[in-house]
Amino acid sequence: MRKPVMAGNWKMYKTPAETLAFFEKFRPLAGNAAHCEVVICPPFTNLFAAVEAAKGTAIRIGAQNIGWAKEGAFTGEVSGSMIQATGATHALVGHSERRQYFAESDETVLKRSQAALEIGLTPIVCVGERLDEREGGRTESVLTQQFQNGIAGLTEQQFARIVIAYEPVWAIGTGKTATPEIAADAHRVIRGLVRAKFGKGAGDAIRILYGGSVKPDNVKSLMAQPEIDGVLVGGASLDPAGFASIVNF
């Protein structure tokens, strides 16, 4: 059985003080959920505060990106060892907002994923098609391309330690959730690519999260799909009670 991962992506929201206030409320509601792994990804500047606030609970903390170099002249980047030193355990990689606004490519997604794995962090690697790609009937070819040019460059041992998030770009922050069936179809495509590249065992074991306008009132129907192994939640992860009800679906 694949243990669900319920992950929150805070994007560019919350100060350290707001982070502490979130955890005060969130911890008693979902701090020791045993049916799933809970991962919260605040901005870099809140990683320390979040790790401190999550101590003594099962909540894990992740970064929203990770530099591919160990260190060096890379203004604005944060390396894996820096992230790890805060006590964080995960890193999002290749989120569509990074691809859209900051020119992330499948190639940098691979390099960032490798950097995370080298230092022992779990990358949550994001893939997903844009609206024009879906409407043009290209969803499967886009997912295939993102997989082949990014994730497929990992070794089998590396692949065994990642999580994949399927986030259709048209569903992010728009209130337009993919139906559970549409999401499950895309997950089957991705799992098929995994089986073909890394074998049946890897395909059975890989956890594929769905992301895009997940809310307390639609999480249950999404999680009812056997293909969906968890969720990556943006807007609705900012509210402690709301995110707790998603975690405890």
- Min dist. Cβ of residue 63 to ligand PGA (A): 14
**CA-CA-CA-CA dihedral for 105, 110, 111, 115, to nearest 10:** 140
Q: Which residue among 116, 178, 214, 228 contacts ligand PGA (CB under 6 A)?
A: 214
The DSSP element (H or E) to which 67 belongs, if any, is none
Q: Which stretch binds ligand PGA (CB under 6 A): 59-67, 78-86, 136-144, 227-235?
A: 227-235
Q: How far apart are alpha carbons 178 and 222 in whole angstroms?
A: 9
List alpha helices for 3-130, DSSP H: 16-30, 47-54, 80-85, 96-101, 106-119
- Min dist. Cβ of residue 213 to ligand PGA (A): 4
Active site residue 167: yes
The answer to whether residue 128 forms part of the interface with ligand PGA (CB under 6 A) is no
Q: How far apart are alpha carbons 151 and 107 in whole angstroms?
A: 9
- β-pair partners for 233: 8
Site for ligand PGA (CB under 6 A): how many residues?
Answer: 13
The answer to whether residue 232 forms part of the interface with ligand PGA (CB under 6 A) is yes
Instruction: Choose between 162 and 236: whose C-beta lies nearer to ligand PGA.
Output: 236
Active site residue 37: no
The answer to whether residue 233 forms part of the interface with ligand PGA (CB under 6 A) is yes
Q: How far apart are alpha carbons 131 and 173 in whole angstroms?
A: 13
CB under 8 Å to 53, separation ≥6 — which residues? 19, 20, 22, 23, 24, 27
Q: Which residue among 4, 5, 9, 209 contacts ligand PGA (CB under 6 A)?
A: 9
| Interacting residues with ligand PGA (CB under 6 A) | 9, 167, 172-173, 211-214, 232-236
**Residues carrying an active site annotation:** 95, 167
